[in-house]
């Protein structure tokens, strides 16, 4: 079956589009920062074009990354999950960003809600379990919404609560926080949900745990990630 080329109606080469989307999503750069960096490389691209590209191709790239990422066993990501939530302001109104991370630091799911109650926690858990199944252990903070939601699902016995047990998930918020500051926050809940979903996939793709590998191993893994990125959505 022949797959349609998503770049067929664009005059700019796919390589430049992939580069612009990667720079904007992966690094804490504004649209105008990306425009200036592309100009230094000889590409006269407007910042509004960069905004259109990441909205158009970002979900495609994230979807293909999720399809290509595989685990050795079906229960690879089900050993232990770390769940946490942070406050995000949208037009001055506080929203909540829920995040699930596995035992190796890979972001499993990101979910945005207006409240931090049992219903929001239940929707978040159902969304994660629909894609990955049930974990053997879930590490959370002391928020009561987690236990109330897990009681409804029937897995409250696997919950683990500790003062420093959830540092892995709390640290996973840092790349998004740096990105949020560069974007001068968000204006719509839908755009926040869209961006965190794309950002999570791109983060997983380029996260090679540099502190655990030697310099030579990291260089090989980094080059492999870049090579795979350059082939996304190729016809």
Question: What are the per-10-residue average pLDDT scores of the chain (235 residues)?
Answer: 77 94 94 96 95 95 85 61 93 92 90 95 94 91 93 91 83 88 85 94 87 85 92 79
Take residue 51 and report the two structure tokens written for it.
Answer: 């905004």
The pTM for the full model equals: 0.86
The pLDDT of residue 230 is 92
Topology adopted by domain 76-187: Nucleotidyltransferase; domain 5 (3.30.420)
For the chain, what are the domain ranges? 1-68+189-235, 76-187
The pLDDT of residue 72 is 47
* Phi-psi region at 228: left, alpha or beta (left = phi > 0; alpha = psi -120 to 50): alpha
Q: Note whether 82 and 149 are within 8 A (CB).
A: no
Distance in angstroms (rounded) separating the CA atoms of residues 126 and 120:
10
The pLDDT of residue 1 is 46
Distance in angstroms (rounded) separating the CA atoms of residues 48 and 173:
27
Take residue 177 and report the two structure tokens written for it.
Answer: 């926080």
């Amino acid at each position: 079956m022949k797959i349609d080329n998503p770049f067929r109606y664009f005059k700019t080469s796919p390589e430049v589009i992939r580069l612009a989307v990667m720079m904007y999503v992966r690094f804490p750069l504004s649209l105008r920062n990306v425009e200036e960096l592309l100009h230094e490389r000889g590409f006269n691209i407007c910042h509004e074009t960069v905004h259109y590209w990441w909205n158009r191709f970002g979900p495609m790239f994230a979807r293909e990354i999720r399809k290509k990422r595989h685990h050795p066993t079906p229960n690879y990501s089900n050993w232990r999950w770390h769940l946490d939530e942070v406050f995000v302001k949208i037009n001055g109104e506080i929203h909540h960003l829920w995040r699930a991370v596995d035992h190796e630091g890979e972001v499993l799911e990101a979910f945005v809600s207006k409240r931090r109650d049992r219903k929001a926690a239940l929707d978040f858990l159902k969304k994660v379990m629909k894609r990955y199944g049930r974990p053997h252990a879930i590490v959370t903070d002391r928020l009561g919404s987690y236990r109330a939601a897990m009681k409804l699902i029937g897995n409250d016995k696997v919950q683990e609560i500790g003062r420093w047990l959830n540092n892995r998930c709390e640290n996973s918020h840092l790349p998004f926080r740096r990105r949020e500051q560069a974007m001068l926050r968000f204006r719509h809940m839908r755009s926040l949900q869209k961006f965190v979903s794309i950002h999570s996939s791109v983060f997983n793709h380029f996260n090679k745990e540099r502190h655990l590998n030697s310099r030579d191993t990291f260089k090989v893994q980094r080059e492999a990630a870049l090579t795979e990125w350059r082939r996304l959505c190729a016809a």
